[in-house]
Amino acid sequence: MNDFWEKEIEFININDKKRLQLERLNQTFERAKEANFYKKRFANIKKEGLKSLDDIKDLPFTTKQDLRDGFPYEFLTVPLSDVVRLQSSSGTTGNPVVIFHTQGDIDRWANLMARCMYMAGMRKSDIFQNIMGYGLFTGGFGFHYGAEKIGAMVIPIGTGNSQRQVWFLEKFKTSVMHILPSYALRLHAHILEEGLDPKKDLSLKIGFIGAEPHTDEIRRKIEDLYGIKAFNSYGLSEMNGPGVAFECQYQDGTHVWEDSFYPEIINPDTLEVLPDGEVGELVLTTLTREAMPVIRYRTRDLTRIISEPCKCGRTHRRLDRIKARSDDMIIINGVNIFPMQIEETLMRIKEIGHNYRIDIEKDNYMDKLHISVEINKESFTGSIAQLESIKKNVGERLKNELGVSSIIKLVESGTLPQNEGKIKRVFDNRDK
Ligand code: DLL
């Protein structure tokens, strides 16, 4: 059985990959000049072409604010009549970021998605339940077209209505699902409430999880609860959406499709490009996008590039799990904390359930970190003494990890609020 979708590209020799990237980078640079935004941006850049991949560092960055300011058409390089779809990034205030696609862009995106899903083991014979938002959000459509390309049967159910989700999972013997990691945990509780055992009564083998930050601990939890293999999927609307980077069978970092995106890691303060292996902000350039090329986009996602060869043999370098977004950092009385550190610590404690919430308050000029955590029903005996000891343990482990104290509140499983889309867990109330 083949375990690749496009052998020549996925296993491309490294020198050929670099040659292809340089060629496509130059095409992108030329094409970008057709857009009003880049025409102005590049007016003072004398470059006729990039001689090597390193020359990219002479090009300016593009930020989310640039994309917003360019609303609606400043980034468009083709006549509107050649555009077949518009997608947009998720809920923000002000102008949304809109991304335009030609038919060619849509076809290439579907192909990348097919590559991702096939790499993780999905085949034509699979039943694929797409539990992700359809519409302006890119998660639903991206996977939908990729799965159809593979030839799997797609159930385009979208998000929400857990009862209906479970019904479809069971009745149609869904073998692959695409789901937000936070919703996967919630849906599991619902499956149990329906009296079903996900491992015995459902036919799931694979889960694609992504679109929101999550730790490896959460992934392993999802794998255990459902008895599946769960693959991390990374992407962002500005780069199509999903299909930027995806895990292979070895689940050790996500292969970033370097024939379609050129990745760099920069120091977000000095903006210098960092060598592979060092953690910094991920910067991406589209290499094949027609309607709306984006050059050196600052993603705000903090990660590192893993350039060591992968056991699967693919030559596209890997991204380490996203550590955080640079704008997610919480500063508590001068100490920098990332929410993922909190999740990592909590999920290692067996008495802790799936959900948690972080509230930051100001009290007498001091920042106070409040962490509410759901308790794991299975390991809770109901005794007050046990509650006290869990609370103490959680407090001490978090203090060790974060270097600051927190106020822990234990709550019953399933009681913290959840919404349908990406989960929000940090509430900073200091300015209120
Ligand atoms: O979330 C695209 C997507 C859809 C990816 C479905 C995967 C699956 P946006 O709404 O623009 O696009 O949000 C992009 O979400 O910059 C990261 O901060 C975060 N993110 C996405 N995937 C992951 C992941 C889609 N696997 C933003 N791990 C990105 C951590 C992720 N963070």
pLDDT tens across 57-74, in order?
Answer: 999 999 999 999 999 999
Ligand 1 atom showing the smallest separation from residue 97 Cα: 11
* pLDDT reported for residue 325: 86
Using the mean position of ligand 1's atoms as its centre, give its distance from the Cα of residue 209 in Å.
10
Residue recorded with tokens 């159930």: 155
Residue recorded with tokens 């890997």: 318
Ligand 1 atom showing the smallest separation from residue 238 Cα: 11
Closest to 212 (Cα-Cα) out of 159, 275, 291: 159
In this structure, are residues 105 and 134 in contact, taking their beta carbons and an 8 Å threshold?
no
Provide the token pair at 143.
């996977």
Distance, in Å, from the CA atom of 366 to the CA atom of 361, rounded to the nearest integer, reads 8
Distance, in Å, from the CA atom of 197 to the CA atom of 212, rounded to the nearest integer, reads 26
Q: How far is CA 367 from CA 108, 330, 360, 403, in A?
A: 48, 11, 7, 14
Atom 1 in ligand 1: residue holding the nearest Cα: 211
First-to-last CA distance in the chain?
59
Mind giving me the DSSP string for 62-103?
A: B-HHHHHHTTTTTT--S-GGG--EEEE-SS-SSSPPEEEE-H
Distance, in Å, from the CA atom of 203 to the CA atom of 172, rounded to the nearest integer, reads 9
Using the mean position of ligand 1's atoms as its centre, give its distance from the Cα of residue 213 in Å.
8
pLDDT, one tens digit per residue, over 301-345 is 999 999 999 999 999 999 999 988 888 889 999 999 999 999 999
Q: How far is CA 218 from CA 173, 230, 367, in A?
A: 24, 10, 28
* pLDDT reported for residue 310: 98
In this structure, are residues 329 and 337 in contact, taking their beta carbons and an 8 Å threshold?
yes
Instruction: Enumerate the β-bridge partners of residue 210.
Output: 233
Using the mean position of ligand 1's atoms as its centre, give its distance from the Cα of residue 392 in Å.
34
Choose the residue to mutate in 236, 294, 344, 424 for probing ligand 1, maximizing ligand atoms within 8 Å of C-beta: 236
**151 CB neighbour count, 10 Å cutoff:** 12
Question: Which residues does the chain have with pLDDT short of 50?
Answer: 1
Burial call 241-258: b when 16+ CB within 10 Å, e when fewer: bbbbbbbbeebebbbbbb
Atom 12 in ligand 1: residue holding the nearest Cα: 236
Question: What pTM value is reported for the model?
Answer: 0.94
Choose the residue to mutate in 88, 113, 130, 234 for probing ligand 1, maximizing ligand atoms within 8 Å of C-beta: 234
Query: Measured from the CB, is residue 211 less than 6 Å from ligand 1?
Result: yes
Distance, in Å, from the CA atom of 106 to the CA atom of 290, rounded to the nearest integer, reads 10
In this structure, are residues 180 and 423 in contact, taking their beta carbons and an 8 Å threshold?
yes
